[in-house]
Structure 1
Amino acid sequence: MAACSVFSSLRSQLSKVRRLAGCVECVECVHTGRWMLSADKALLVKLRKTTGYTFINCKKALEKFNNDVTLAEHWLHDQAQKEGWSKASKLENRRTSEGLIALLRKENAAVMVEVNCETDFVARNEMFQQLVQDVAFATMEHHQSRVHAGYVKSLMSAENVCKLAVPEGSSVADQLALAIGRLGENISLRRAVSVGVPADWRMGSYVHGAVLGRSEVSMGRYGALVVFQGGPEGQEEVLGKKLGQHIVGEAPLSLGEVGDVPCGETETRLLPQTFLLEPQYTVGQYLALQNARVFDFIRFKCGEETQ
C-alpha cells in the first residue's frame, strides 16, 4: 500500500509539472533525482541536421543538457571523439584503399594530400570530404608558417601531418578520430606534399574525378602538380592544366632530359612521352613550341602503393 501511495504521489507531481510547463514535457533523472526537460522536437531536428549524429544520441544529449543545443553539440563531439579513438585502435588493420586526393594552391605555394577510407560510400560523405579539406588547409598553413627561398618541395609523413592543427583548433589526429567515431570506418592519412616556387616560376595543377567542395580546394581520385617556367604570356594557367592532365593520364615516373628519344609505348620519362592532348608532339617538343620548361612534377593516385 505504501508503494502505491508513493507512485500515486509521483504521478500527481508529474501531472502538476506538465500543466505548469504547458507543451514542454519533463522527465525525472533516476540517478540524481533532478527534473530534466525532454528533448524539444524542433531542437532535436536542428541538432540532428547540423551534426549528423544519430537521432537517439541527439535526443540523449538534449535531455542531458536541458535543451541547450551548444552544450549538447560539444558533448556529442567529445563522445564521438572518444569513441573514435577506441574504434581507431580496433580498425587500424583494416585496409583503406578508397578516399580522396585534395589539392590547394595559394599564390606561389601548393599542397596535395591523400586521405583514405575503406569504401567509396564514405568517400562521398560530406563529413569525410570536410576532413580532407581541413587536412589540406592545415598542411598549407604549416608550409606558409615557414621561411622559404627558391624552390622547395617537402614530403611530409602521415605522423607529422597528424600533429598539425586544423582550422577548428584541434589536431588532425583528433579530427581523424572524430570522423572514425561518426562514420564507423577505418580512416587514415597516407601522405602530403607542399611546394613553394620562386616568383618567376609557375605551377600547374589538375584533379581528375573531381567532387564538389570548397572552391579553393580541388578533390578527386587523381591529382598532379607541375612546376615550370615560361609559356605564352597570359596562358600559363592553361599550359599548366594541360601538363597536369598529361601527367595524370600517362603517369610518368621521371622527368627525363631535353632531346631524349622515345623508347616506345612503355616510356615512363615525361619529356619523351607522346603528349596526351596533341599526340603529334612529344611533351618535350610541345614545351619547346610554347617556349616553356618543366622542372618537376608530382602525381598522386588514390590508394596506390607508395614507397
Structure 2
Amino acid sequence: MATITAAQVKELREKTGVGMMDAKKALVSTDGDMEKAIDELREKGMAKAAKKSGRIAAEGLAHIELSGNTAAIIEVNSETDFVSSNDKFQTLVKDIATTVAKNKPADMDAALQLSMGEGTIDDAVKNLTAVIGEKISFRRFQLVEKTDSQNFGSYLHNGGAIAVLALLEGADEATAKDVAMHVAAINPQYVSRDEVPSEVLEHERAVFTEETKNEGKPENIVPKIVEGRLNKYLSEISLADQEFVKDSDKTVAEFVESKGGKLVSFVRFEVGEGIEKAENNFVEEVMGQIK
C-alpha cells in the first residue's frame, strides 16, 4: 500500500474542498492515485470536478504584445511577487513579448536566442537575475495569427496575473476584449462543446452515472439525469455556452453573434498555474487539527 503524505492530502483538499479525513480515506482507497481519489469523492457526491489548471504557486507576470496580424502571449516567472512590481522586471517582460511577436520563434529554444538589446533574450533574463538577486525565468509563450477579417482582444488582469488573448471572426476589437475579460474571469476549458475530447465525455458520463446511482435514483431515469448533468457540465466548460458575464441573458456565443462575429479561439495564461511551491507549515496545520 502506498504511503499517503500530508502534502497529498493537502493537494486533494484544495482540489475538491473536502475535509482532511475524507481526503485521506480517498487517497488510501485509491492507493495514492490523485485522479482516482477525485473521481471517488465525486461519485460519493462529496466533490466537484477538479479544475485542470492546477494550483497557482509561482510569481511573475504574463503579457501580450501585437505585431500586425501576429500576437504573442508570454509568461515570465520570479520567485516573489515583490519582483513583479519592479520596473526593470516589467520592462523585461514587455520587451520579451514584443521581440517574440515580431520574430515568431518556432519554440522556446529559438525564442531564447532571439536578439534583444545588447544580447539575446536568454542573456537579458540571466542579467536581470544577477541584478535582482532572484531567479527569473521565461517560462512559456504562444503565438496567434489572424486574418484581416478577424480581431484580437487582449486583457491583462491585475497587471498581468492573468493574460487572455481572444480571437474573433468579424465583430470588432471591443467585442473581442469583452470576450477576453470573460475568459479571464470564468476560465473555460474549450471554445465550444464540439472541441471536448470523446474520452473526456465518456469519463464524465461514467462518473455522473455512478454518482446518480449512489443517490438511489430509479434505474430507468438514471440515463436521463446523467445526460442532464453532462449537458450542464459542458455548458460550464465551453466558452460558447457560458452565460456572458456582462449580460447573463446571453451566452458568450450569442453575445458575439449579436455584434456580427463568431468565436474562433482563446489563450489564457495564469501566472504560476501548474507549478508547485514548497509549503513549509502544513505539518503544523495538520497537528493543529488533530489537537
Q: TM-score range by the shorter chain?
A: 0.5 to 0.7
The residue type equivalent to 1:289 in the other structure is S
Does 2:217 match 1:248? no
Query: CA-to-partner distance for each residue in 1:250-298, whole Å, 9 max, x for gaps?
Result: 111111158x995159711111111111111111222232221011110
1:122 positional shift? 0.9
Q: Whose RCO is larger (CA < 8 A, sep 6+)?
A: 2
Distance 2:193 2:57 in 1: 37
Distance 1:96 1:136 in 2: 22
The residue type equivalent to 2:188 in the other structure is P
Q: Structure 2: which 5+ runs fail to align? A: 1-55, 197-227, 276-291
Distance 1:142 1:287 in 2: 31
Conserved? CA contact 1:96–1:117, under 8 Å: no
The residue type equivalent to 1:242 in the other structure is D
Query: CA-to-partner distance for each residue in 1:178-213, whole Å, 9 max, x for gaps?
Result: 111110111111101111211111111111112xxx
Conserved? CA contact 1:104–1:112, under 8 Å: yes
Conserved? CA contact 2:235–2:241, under 8 Å: no
Does 2:113 match 1:163? yes
Residue number in structure 2 paired with 1:46? none
Residue of structure 1 aligned with 2:138, choices 164, 170, 189: 189
Query: CA-to-partner distance for each residue in 1:21-77, whole Å, 9 max, x for gaps?
Result: xxxxxxxxxxxxxxxxxxxxxxxxxxxxxxxxxxxxxxxxxxxxxxxxxxxxxxxxx
Q: Secondary structure at the match of 2:269?
A: strand
Q: Secondary structure at the match of 1:267?
A: helix
The residue type equivalent to 2:263 in the other structure is V
Q: Which is greater in Rg? A: 1
Residue number in structure 2 paired with 1:141? 102
Q: Secondary structure at the match of 1:185?
A: coil
Distance 2:153 2:85 in 1: 26
1:93-172 correspondence runs (5 A): 97-143=58-104, 157-166=107-116, 168-172=117-121
Distance 2:248 2:137 in 1: 38
Residue number in structure 2 paired with 1:68? none
RMSD between superposed Cα atoms in Å: 2.4
From the superposition, tell whether residues 190 and 137 of structure 1 become closer, same or farther in structure 2 (CA, over 3 Å): same
Q: TM-score, normalised by structure 1?
A: 0.56
Query: CA-to-partner distance for each residue in 1:142-176, whole Å, 9 max, x for gaps?
Result: 12xxxxxxxxxx8x64333211111x130111111
1:1-307 correspondence runs (5 A): 97-143=58-104, 157-166=107-116, 168-210=117-159, 220-231=160-171, 236-257=172-193, 263=232, 267-305=236-274
Q: Secondary structure at the match of 1:280?
A: strand
Distance 1:266 1:198 in 2: 29
Distance 2:234 2:148 in 1: 36
Distance 2:175 2:248 in 1: 15
The residue type equivalent to 1:239 in the other structure is T
Distance 1:162 1:96 in 2: 24
Q: Secondary structure at the match of 1:238?
A: helix
Q: Which has the higher helix share?
A: 2
Q: How many aligned residue pairs are there?
A: 186
Distance 1:107 1:114 in 2: 21
The residue type equivalent to 1:243 in the other structure is V
Query: CA-to-partner distance for each residue in 1:93-127, whole Å, 9 max, x for gaps?
Result: xx981000111113322111100000011111111
Conserved? CA contact 1:96–1:118, under 8 Å: no
Distance 1:204 1:295 in 2: 11
The residue type equivalent to 1:305 in the other structure is G
Q: Structure 1: which 5+ runs fail to align? A: 1-94, 144-153, 211-219
Q: Percent identity?
A: 27
Conserved? CA contact 2:57–2:273, under 8 Å: no
Distance 1:281 1:194 in 2: 30
The runs of 4+ residues in structure 1 deviating greater than 4 Å are none
Distance 2:144 2:155 in 1: 15
Distance 1:242 1:266 in 2: 19
Residue number in structure 1 paired with 2:19? none
Conserved? CA contact 1:96–1:116, under 8 Å: no
